[in-house]
Amino acid sequence: MRRTRVKICGMRKPDQVSQLVDLGVDAIGMIFYEPSPRHLTIEEAKSIRKVVPPFVTLVGVFVDTDAEEINEIAQLVGLNLVQLHGDQCSDFAMQLSVPYIRAIRVDSLETIDREQQTHSNAQGFLLDTFSKKAYGGTGDRIVSELLPNKLSGSTILAGGINPSNILDVLENKPYAVDINSGVEFSPSDKNIDAIRSIMETISKFDSEYS
């Protein structure tokens, strides 16, 4: 049976991370970008690492951070994967000590195609809502007309996902979904019941439509 993977991003609370692991979440995202309201410190990240068991992926989110700093944080925290936002080229990614996924702020089909060609070594592509003010976490949905008719096998969909719209997102058959601001009481304080509802919807969808 096909299974849609789930990443919950913007995490800062170890107790909530433990609850997400119990719900079956596949990946935990932590944001290392100081302007973000969900930014966390290295010490906070280490506290989260302590409660993340084997086979759950720990992802570090970076925006135009130099490769040396990314590698240092990856080693200190024990990141399994990094998520790159910004203007990095494919040569930059080759300097990384861990695999990466490329985040794309979707404003056109051409942008998606260009980024996928440029970052052919990426393990996956996260499609998020385009905004001039933020690199993610806006709570806005991607305009459906800007998505390809068929997503590639490594596509992760983000952008304001919540219990009321998760079914619409799943109709695109993404490899995974990335959930953040759509399930928050406030930045980094997640609504665990809302995430539980999403996980139940995903499980039912996968069993019925895969």
Task: Please give the positions annotated as active site.
Answer: 9, 128
Detail the DSSP E strand segments found in 52-120: 57-63, 81-85, 100-106
Helical spans, DSSP H, in 147-209: 166-170, 192-209
Q: 200: number of CA atoms within 13 Å, CB side?
A: 8
CB 99 within 8 Å of CB 124: no
User: Could you give the CA distance from residue 121 to residue 78 in angstroms, rounded to a whole number?
Assistant: 21
Which residues are within 8 A (CB) of 116 and not within 5 positions of it... i.e. 6 or more apart? Answer: 102, 122, 125, 152
Q: What is the chain's Cα-based Rg?
A: 16
For residue 144, the SS3 value is: helix
Detail the DSSP E strand segments found in 64-209: 81-85, 100-106, 124-129, 155-157, 176-179, 184-186, 189-190
